[in-house]
Structure 1
Amino acid sequence: MLAHHGGLIVDRPEMTVGVVRAISRPTGLELDLLARRPLDRRSGPERQADIRAGRFTPPAPRRLLPDHDEGMDLRIAWLDPSGRAQWQFGGSRSSWSGDHYEGVEGPSIRAGLILPPLFDRAPVVFAWPEIGFPETVVELPLPDRATVERGAVPIWVAPFDVRQPPSPLRSRTGEFCHQTPHIEAGRIIAGPRVLNRDGRVAVVLNRLTTVGGILSLEILSVAHGEPARAASADAFPGGRPGRGPGAAVAILHDREAVWPPAHESAAGGGDTEFRSTAEFLVDRPDSDTLTLVIAWPVADLPEVCVDIPLDPA
C-alpha cells in the first residue's frame, strides 16, 4: 500500500531529496528516492583554477557515519530502535552527471531501497560529507502495522473495476513530452491498484504523481506462461518503436484515445515470466477524473477503460 504521498523531504543548498514512491508491505518498506544537486556554473578552466588554488568545500562532520566507509556519494540509512544507523549499500541506483555548465539541470541520483518492515514512522538518514552536506535525519510518517496488513493484497486477487471502451473509438499517437518534471517534488495522488487482469496477465498502476500541470504514471506489466513468452518476444531485442515494452496506455477524451509514448521504460523476462515498468507523462485534464484505455494485445489482455479519481488539491 502507499506509504507516503511523495514530495521533497530534504531541501538544502547542497542537495534536495524527494520521494518518488514509497510502498509499505508486511515484508518491508520499499523506497524510490531521487536526489538532485545544483548545477555547477563554473567552466572547466574556472574549476581547474579553484583546484590549483586549494579552494574547495570543506567536508561535513561524520557523526553517524563511520570514519571510513564504502560510499563515495549519497549514503542512505535508517535508524534502528537503539538509534544506530543501518547504512544501505545495496538496492538499485542510477546517476546522471547533469547538464553542461550553461545548462539547466544539475547532477542527480536515483536510489531504490528495500528496508525492513517499518510502521508508524521511519527515521531515514542522508549523508554526503564530501560535498559539505551534513548528516540529516528525516522522520517519514508511515501507516501502522494493522493498516499495512489489511492492505497487503496480491495483484492476482486484488479487486479492480473496468468497463468497455466506447464504440466507435478513434485513436491517435500522442506527442512525446519533452519536459522532464521533477517527479520527486510532486504529490502522489493515486497509489498501487490493479488496472486490468486476466488469468496470468496483470497491469498495475504503481503510482500517479501530479507535478505542475503534468501527470506522471508508472505502469507495471506482469505476465506468466505463454503470455510471458509472447511479451518477451515482442519486447526484445528492440521492442516496438515508440511504444516500449508491456502494456500500452491511452488517455480517453470523449471517443478519442490518445496513446502517449513511454517516457522511460525497463523490462526483463523470458519464456516463463515477463515484467516491465514504464513511465508516461501526460497533461493533467481539467476534470477530476483521468480515464485510461489499457491495451496489451500481445499478451491477450482485452482492451478496457479505467477511471482514476484525481485529488483536486
Structure 2
Amino acid sequence: MPLFWRIFLLNAVVLIGATALLLGPVTVSTPVLLTEAAVLTGGLAAMLIANGLLLRIGLAPLQRLTRAMTTTDLLRPGTRPAVGGHGEVAELITTFNTMLDRLETERAASAGRALSAQEAERHRIAQELHDEIGQTLTAVLLELKRVADHVPPAIREELHQVQETTRASLDEIRRIARRLRPGVLEELGLTSALKALANEFTGSALTVRHHIGADLPLLSRDTELVLYRVAQESLTNAARHAGARRVELTVRRTPAGVELRVSDDGRGIDGAPEGAGISGMRERALLVGADLSLDAARDGGTEVRLTVLTSHRSH
C-alpha cells in the first residue's frame, strides 16, 4: 500500500473512532468536567503517538536514503542503502541504487578514456622532449666543446660554465621525460621501476626507503601502471607539499592481491581538501577495482594505501 494511503487510513481510523466515542458514551459537558478533559487529552495524545509511530516507521527508509544521497562520492564507492519499507519507498531506494551503479560504471569508463588519452599525451611529449629538445641540446654541447677548444683560456672557462648549464638542462629534460613516460616500467617491470622511482626522489632533503616483495603476483599492464602512478604522485606530494624528510615505500603480496603503502613523516593532511593529484589517484584506483585510502601515519605524516585485488585485474 502506498505511504499516502497508509497515513490517510490510519488518520481516518483514529478520527472515526474519536467521533464515535464523542457521539456515544463519551460526552462533553459545559463547562468541561475534569474527567472529560482527561479523556480528551488522552485521546489527543493517542492520536499524536499513533501518527508519530507510523511516520517514524514509514519514513525511516527515506531518512537512510537521504543520508546516502548526501554522503555518496563516485570516487569512493561504498555500500548501498538497504532496500526497506514497502511500495513506493522500496521502489525509490532500488531506483537510487540502480542509478548509482550506472553512474559509477559510466564514470569509470569515462575516466578510463581520459586517463588513456593522458598517458598517450605524456608519451608523445616525452618522445618530443627526448628526440627534439634532447638532441638539440646534445648538439649544442658538442658545438660548445668544439668552440672551447679554439678560444683563449679566459673565454674557455666561460664556455665551460655554459656547457655545465646546458648539461644540467639536458639532464633535467631527461628526468622530466622519464617521469612522463616510465620506460623502465615497460622494459624491466614494476619492481625495477619502483626502485628507480625511489632512488630518483632520494636527495639531500628527502630519503626514500623501499621495501618491495620478491613474491609479487603477475599483474596486468594497467595494474602495474596504476601502482606506479600512485606511488609517483604520493612521493611527489611528500616532497613538494608535506615537507617530509623520510618516506617508506612498501609493496607486498596479500592473500587477496597486492598492497602499496607510501608513508611519510610530513605535516599530514589535517582535513585539507583533496586536490587534483589525489582525485587522479582515486580515478586510477577505480580503473583496476582497487581501494585507495589516505590516513594519518604513525609518525604524524600521511599514509597512502592502495589495495589491488588480483581477481579484479584489468586486461
What range is the shorter-chain TM-score in? under 0.3
Question: What TM-score does the superposition give when structure 2 sets the normalisation length?
Answer: 0.24
- The one of the two structures with greater contact order (alpha-carbon pairs below 8 A, sep at least 6) is 1
Question: What TM-score does the superposition give when structure 1 sets the normalisation length?
Answer: 0.24
Structure whose alpha-carbon radius of gyration is higher? 2
